[in-house]
Structure 1
Amino acid sequence: MDLYVNNETSRLRKVILGIANSNGPTPTLEEAYDPKSIEHIKNGTYPKEEDKVKEMAEVLEVLKKYNVDVYRPELIKDYNQIFARDICFVIEDKIIKSNILPNRDQEIEAIRYILDQIPQEKLIKLPEEAHMEGGDVMLHNDYIFVGTYRGDDYANYITARTNVEAVEEIRKHFPHKIVKSFNLRKSNTDARANALHLDCCFQPVGPKYAILHKNGFLEESEYQWLVDFFGKDNIFEITADEMYEMYSNIFSISEHVVISDASFTRLNAWLRARDITVEEVHYREIAKQEGLLRCSTMPLVRDKN
């Protein structure tokens, strides 16, 4: 299989979509690894498997509507396999295997049948000390935007998934790209003050636009760099509550078509006013696990510009 992804919005041709079947029992508080899941476990509102399966089926139907080739992970019994973006990601014609939380290691084996179709020289395995998840990697043509956490207390945050060593590895493997990193706000306990990944507070959309949340960034200068880069008039600024609901975690099929949650009325109206078709799905249950549409999809092939 020939891979190619160079940005977030070119026409999608092939994608991995996670699965919610046999998702396992509700985790204990000790087993949860993000504050939003912890919140719903405590409240007794953690999502049920049948609801998550139904929500992912809606996304599959939209992808089929646009003739996208969809690959699914092989089923691992009683295992969370929804968030395909975390375990690997494509940059240009190479696929990078993430170094993720140890209790999620089996997830990569569920897509082994896909990796076996890719030439070995196109597979990049990061060194053990370089931690990275795909939600922190955002492609924008000449740029690779990477969310990270630079604090000395990195090891104290289960929500810090990409470290500075991984940013340097990306620079090493893609020296012709401009790699721009962003220091993200982390919290183990407050989902409204936690940018789990870069795509929880930022994403390019359409031909020239971006969704952005200021408080997701620890350094205002880095947030301002994005404002200046895209232009203030081209940015949809989301509130803390909208970040919590995961407004920035929609998914682009092309510059002119996105999949978004039906509840995102303010965002969806803004996109439609800019001639972007919004395919609405219901993803409120999966959102309770602090992931949404971009998290559960991993593009393998997009058109070259």
Structure 2
Amino acid sequence: MIFVQSEFARLQKVVLAESEFGYPLEVRASDLRFLADGAEEDSIANRGRSFAEAYPDLQLQWETERKVFRQTLEKHGVEVLTVRKLTIAEKEMSPKDGYSNFFTRDPFFVIGNTVVEGAMRFLHRRHEVWPLRDLFLREVYPADCMYVAAPYPEIADERDLTLGNGPFIEGGDVLVLDKHVFVGNSGLASNELGFRWLSKLLTPLGYTVQSVRLHPEILHLDCALGLVRKGLMVLCEEALLDGVPVVLKDWKSISVTLDEAKNLATNGLPISEEVYITDPAFRHIGEQIEQEGIQVEYVDFRISRSFGGAFRCSTQPLLRA
């Protein structure tokens, strides 16, 4: 069965990311503004290399983070599926752009019983869905669900810093709350055309799809807003340019600063309405969540966070109900 009811419905089956990244030969500084200082210099210094080649010790630490995260999920009864690694041919597809296979949240997402292949904005992530398709053969094709892919983004002129009209629609921007779906748009990932495409898909299925404008240094909506359980959220209000959506106005919020949001403070992962995973760097947030009667698990995710994603980014649920 494939079905996602909400961000905090009990997590039963999930896809966990791999830990692969290849630096591009050409660096676009405008696409790195959501990362920590020094990202542009690091990308220039390691052009054309893999992260494992550039930082073998950090690569092992990164893989260990994911291993501990998996153990934490399994401890709570979650079935964890893994992604295969990229082939040599896939890595060499576009050396100019680099490659990635590190966050399963964005290349595809699940809303209700609809599985959607996204359309990625960053060039090094355009083909990140490839290693996931082997998993789709086993899990998605046999299941009683709908499976669609967003249109492949257009190829823009090299001088076009927007990377064109897209459409761009990425799972990190998509938050599910029963029949209400929020879609973020900061200019870095999903865009207006991606929102329109997803609305066209979901509205006939009875969903309300709402666009949420984001601060330009926030990559995805889940970097500004995390739904912990019904009535409780972790929120960076400064990152929501039009304020808190009306549907969430009455929810209790645990506030974070813009700097904390950029560091992935809202990107924890609810296993259920009773259990939540976050990084010990955000223990002060975890303690506030614990005061609401929720068990908080802590996993050090500093290497994963250095790539612009954390626990939600590293997973894509197939069953939350």
Of 166, 180, 187, the residue aligned with 1:143 is: 180
Residue-pair matches, total = 279
Query: Is 2:297 the counterpart of 1:273?
Result: no
* TM-score normalized with structure 2 length: 0.80
Equivalent in the alignment of 1:90: 110
Distance 1:16 1:31, change over 3 A: farther
Equivalent in the alignment of 2:236: 213
Equivalent in the alignment of 1:182: 212
Query: Is 2:114 the counterpart of 1:115?
Result: no
SS state of the match for residue 126, structure 2? helix
Q: Please report how far the alpha carbon of residue 288 of structure 1 lies from its aligned counterpart in structure 2 after TM superposition.
A: 1.2
Equivalent in the alignment of 2:249: 228
Distance (whole Å) between structure 2 residues aligned to residue 43 and residue 213 of structure 1: 28
One-letter amino acid of the structure 2 residue matched with residue 11 of structure 1: R
Q: Please report how far the alpha carbon of residue 285 of structure 1 lies from its aligned counterpart in structure 2 after TM superposition.
A: 1.7
Question: Runs of at least 4 residues of structure 1 off by over 6 A?
Answer: none
Distance (whole Å) between structure 2 residues aligned to residue 224 and residue 66 of structure 1: 32
Distance (whole Å) between structure 2 residues aligned to residue 184 and residue 9 of structure 1: 22
One-letter amino acid of the structure 2 residue matched with residue 134 of structure 1: G
Two-structure CA RMSD over aligned residues (Å): 2.3
Distance (whole Å) between structure 2 residues aligned to residue 213 and residue 171 of structure 1: 25
Q: Please report how far the alpha carbon of residue 226 of structure 1 lies from its aligned counterpart in structure 2 after TM superposition.
A: 5.8
Q: How does 1:47-126 map to 2 (within 5 A)?
A: 48-76=58-86, 79-100=99-120, 101-117=122-138, 118-119=140-141, 122-126=146-150
Ranges in structure 1 where 5+ consecutive residues have no aligned partner: 150-156, 187-193
One-letter amino acid of the structure 1 residue matched with residue 106 of structure 2: D
Distance 1:268 1:126, change over 3 A: same
Aligned 8 A contact 2:16 2:80 in 1: yes
Distance (whole Å) between structure 1 residues aligned to residue 199 and residue 127 of structure 2: 27
Q: Please report how far the alpha carbon of residue 249 of structure 1 lies from its aligned counterpart in structure 2 after TM superposition.
A: 0.4
Equivalent in the alignment of 1:168: 196
Distance 1:224 1:31, change over 3 A: closer
Choose 47-56 or 266-275, whichever is displaced more.
47-56
Distance 1:224 1:11, change over 3 A: closer
Q: Please report how far the alpha carbon of residue 165 of structure 1 lies from its aligned counterpart in structure 2 after TM superposition.
A: 1.7
Aligned 8 A contact 1:207 1:256 in 2: no
Distance (whole Å) between structure 1 residues aligned to residue 254 and residue 76 of structure 2: 26
Distance 1:195 1:23, change over 3 A: closer
* TM-score normalized with structure 1 length: 0.84
Q: How does 1:196-211 map to 2 (within 5 A)?
A: 196-211=219-234
Distance (whole Å) between structure 1 residues aligned to residue 201 and residue 40 of structure 2: 42
Choose 9-18 or 112-121, whichever is displaced more.
112-121
Equivalent in the alignment of 1:153: none
Aligned 8 A contact 1:23 1:49 in 2: no
One-letter amino acid of the structure 2 residue matched with residue 4 of structure 1: F
Aligned 8 A contact 1:206 1:276 in 2: no
One-letter amino acid of the structure 1 residue matched with residue 249 of structure 2: D
One-letter amino acid of the structure 1 residue matched with residue 302 of structure 2: R
Equivalent in the alignment of 2:269: 251
SS state of the match for residue 194, structure 2? helix
Distance (whole Å) between structure 2 residues aligned to residue 44 and residue 130 of structure 1: 29
Distance (whole Å) between structure 2 residues aligned to residue 228 and residue 163 of structure 1: 24
Equivalent in the alignment of 2:304: 286
Percent identity, aligned pairs only, is 25
Distance (whole Å) between structure 1 residues aligned to residue 134 and residue 219 of structure 2: 29
Distance (whole Å) between structure 1 residues aligned to residue 312 and residue 26 of structure 2: 25
SS state of the match for residue 295, structure 1? coil
Aligned 8 A contact 1:10 1:255 in 2: yes
